[in-house]
Amino acid sequence: MKIFGWHIMKCEYCHYSERNNGPKCLDCYLLDKRFREGKIRNMPTRFAIILYKKLKESGEYDNKELSIEDLEKKVYYENYSGEQNYISIDLSVRPAQVNIEMDGKHHGMSLKQAKADLKRTYTCFERGWFTLRIPNILMQQTESEMEDTMDDIINLLIESEEQLEKEDTPPRF
Ligand SMILES: [Zn+2]
């Protein structure tokens, strides 16, 4: 069957990249595989995947600094009772020590969720990581509307990296 029209050639999940030997682009194919293998709890949101792609396209991060495994990343840490615990980060950008959390993942924020998020932010901050929360409304933008938001996020990451270089504080995760 011949497929006509550019929209049909786009990935069915992110609607951003070209398809790669199937209905999905390579990134979404690999993420879906990780999800089905139980390596990640949720399939990342479309916004998270596009942000990841834009960060790579910006040329700021190479494969060693930012990879598909930084989406829905499980981060292990020891809590005050000495127990091993983990949190799952939507997109973790190690060189900038910034964790990006997409609020849209939870439909309707509950008090319990809000409290848990605050604790996570504290746990990360204590270890030198800034948490950037992306509210739902920013993720609902169209692709062209997203450009400004993406630029702001990239600028924040670059600024964070520059500040870290000045401070010379090693990451603690
Ligand atoms: Zn895709």
Q: What is the pLDDT of residues 23-44, one digit of tens each?
A: 999 999 999 999 999 999 999 9
| 38 found inside a domain | no
Q: Is 128 domain-assigned?
A: yes
- The residue type at 70: D
Residue 1, in any domain of the structure = no
Bridge partner residues of 132 (DSSP): 100
Judge whether residue 21 has pLDDT over 60: yes
Residue 32 makes CB contacts below 8 A (sequence gap 6+) with 13, 24, 43
pTM score, whole prediction: 0.86
Q: Distance from the CA of 78 to the center of ligand 1, in angstroms?
A: 35
Judge whether 25 lies within some domain.
no
| Segments forming the whole domain that contains residue 80 | 46-167
Taking a C-beta distance cutoff of 8 angstroms, is the pair 76, 85 a contact? Answer: yes
pLDDT computed for residue 110 by the predictor: 84
- Please report whether residue 129 resides in a domain: yes
| Residue 141: inside a domain | yes
Number of domains in the chain: 1
- Those residues whose beta carbon sits under 5 angstroms from the ion ligand 1 are 11, 13-14, 25, 28
- Measured in Å, residue 15 CA sits from the centre of ligand 1 at 6
SS3 content of the chain, % helix, strand, coil (to 5): 45, 15, 35
**Position 148 in a domain:** yes
How far away, in angstroms, is 81 Cα from ligand 1 center? 41
Label the pairing between strands 71-78 and 130-134. Answer: unpaired
Summarize pLDDT for 52-97 with one digit per residue, the tens: 999 999 999 999 999 999 999 998 888 778 898 888 999 999 999 9
Domain harbouring 140, CATH code: 3.40.960.10
**What pLDDT does residue 20 have?**
93
Domain contains 67: yes
CA of 130 to the centre of ligand 1 (A): 27
Q: For the residues 136-164, what does the mean pLDDT come to?
A: 91
Mean per-residue pLDDT for 138-155?
A: 91
Ligand 1 centroid to 32 CA: how many Å?
10
